[in-house]
Amino acid sequence: MKKLEEDITQLVKNLQIDEQQAQEIITDLQAGDKLLNSQSEPDPPAELLDQIEITIKTHLSHRPARRVYIWSMRFASAAAIIIIFVTLITLWTGPGSVPVSTPLSSPKLVDIYDDDSALWEVALTQEMDGEEEIDDLVIIEVSLMWDEIEEPLDDLFGKENTYENVT
Amino acid sequence: MEHDSLEEIIRLCQQGRPEAFHSLLREFGPKLYRFFLRTSGSVHDAEDLLQDIFVKLLEKIKDYQHQGRFESWLFCVAANMVRDRSRKKQRRGTVVPLHDAVREKGQLINSIEASVPEPIDQLEKSEEYDSLQQALAMLPDSDKEIIMLRHYGGLSFQEIAGHFQIPIGTALTRVHRGLKKLKKIMEKS
């Protein structure tokens, strides 16, 4: 009440209302406040407050699931945007150049000759780095007996990779 | 409720803690209910609005920045809700069945009876309340809203002027005029 009186007094002063009119306003406002304060004040029914508490609890307990849903939606839309972007870039730049494998004519030779079994093994590798990259390993087994060789080796391996060159 | 603890409660509400919302309900629920009851003039509306404001609060509290005037902010939200509801009702042209109106009046008197301990005063108090309600119904909605905001929400004239986007002198005039009119109507009745 005191705060309100101060508020009114300050305001009346600021608005430069004459003394008599200011006093009249203050009296009227105070009388009005007194009238309102004298009225009985009904309280909300207890069941209503209980119901609101339940509503609050229910609402808040559903919130995390909703948040997860919103976040997953965000991630999904971000992923979709990235996919669309990459697709557009790919279409714009045209099909990518086909990776050229190491030609057969210039293989990295790992082993070529097994003396005991008279078995030729030519292992051709592309970027072979240990056993993990077994997919990149291409093994060509040539089971040829020394005396069965009919065609020159340079026909089989190319000119640079004749038997003499690789051994 | 202490100023600091209110700030703490608001912070907890912003973190989504139900017990903090319950504290706000206990603190401001009755005042808000009376505000809704007086401005809408209907027990049914007051109950609905009280529920609605707390549901709204669950969402809106995140945006609230505590600067020491939570009550004013809360009652401004409440005033907007009353106005929205009133507009919707006007648009729909609500027809209240007679038995509902009778029931509402009965509820109104019952709720007053519950809050008044002395049985001797019961009739007198309910009549007083009723006459106030009748007097408020004769005021324009804008004046009624301003008076109630100041009375229940404790809004200063500066805050009232800010909320309604009117000059501070107009806010004072409307409160003054409204209270004077209210007093006159009640004296007559």
What is the ipTM metric for this complex? 0.72
Inter-chain residue contact A36 with B34, CB threshold 8 Å: no
B23, part of any domain: yes
A44 touches chain B (CB under 8 A): yes
Task: Specify the DSSP class assigned to residue A127.
Answer: S
Task: Specify the DSSP class assigned to residue B171.
Answer: H
Inter-chain residue contact A36 with B147, CB threshold 8 Å: yes
Residues of A in contact with B46 (CB under 8 A): 44
User: What is the separation, in whole angstroms, between the first and last Cα of chain A?
Assistant: 109
Measuring CA to CA, which residue among A138, A133, A130, A141 is closest to residue A108? A138
Prediction pTM value? 0.60
* Confidence band, pLDDT 50/70/90 cuts, at residue A128: very low
pLDDT digit string, tens, across residues B26-56: 999 999 999 999 888 888 999 999 999 999 9
B8, part of any domain: yes
Please give the sequence-ordered ranges of beta strands (E in DSSP) within chain B, or none if there are none: none
Of B25, B156, B178, the CB nearest to A7: B156
The distance of B136 to chain A (nearest Cα, Å) reads: 11
Under 8 Å between Cβ of B157 and A9: no
B155, part of any domain: no
* Confidence band, pLDDT 50/70/90 cuts, at residue A18: confident
The distance of B14 to chain A (nearest Cα, Å) reads: 11
B161, part of any domain: no
B148, part of any domain: no
Best A7, A27, A63 residue to mutate vs chain B (most B CBs within 10 Å): A7
Q: Which residues contact B58 (CB under 8 A, 6 or more apart)?
A: A56, A59, A60, B21
The distance of A77 to chain B (nearest Cα, Å) reads: 24
B85, part of any domain: yes
Chain A segment 49-88 residues within 8 A of B by beta carbon are: 49, 51-53, 55-57, 59-60, 63
Query: Residue B67 is part of which domain span?
Result: 1-96
Residues linked to residue A113 through DSSP beta bridges, in sequence order: A120
The distance of B8 to chain A (nearest Cα, Å) reads: 18
Query: Residue B113 burial (CB < 10 Å; 0-12/13-18/19+)?
Result: middle
Cβ density class B125-151: b for 16+ within 10 Å, e for less = bbebbebbbebbeebeeebbbbbbbbb
Inter-chain residue contact B29 with A25, CB threshold 8 Å: no
Number of domains in chain B: 1
pLDDT digit string, tens, across residues A78-110: 999 999 999 998 888 875 555 555 555 555 555
Cβ density class B74-90: b for 16+ within 10 Å, e for less = bbbebbebbeebeeeee
Q: What count of Cα atoms within 13 Å lies in the side-chain half-sphere of residue B16?
A: 9
B42, part of any domain: yes
CATH number of the domain encompassing residue B5 = 1.10.1740.10
State both tokens at B165: 């986007």
Report the C-alpha gap between B36 and B47 in whole angstroms. 8
Report the C-alpha gap between B147 and B129 in whole angstroms. 16
B145, part of any domain: no
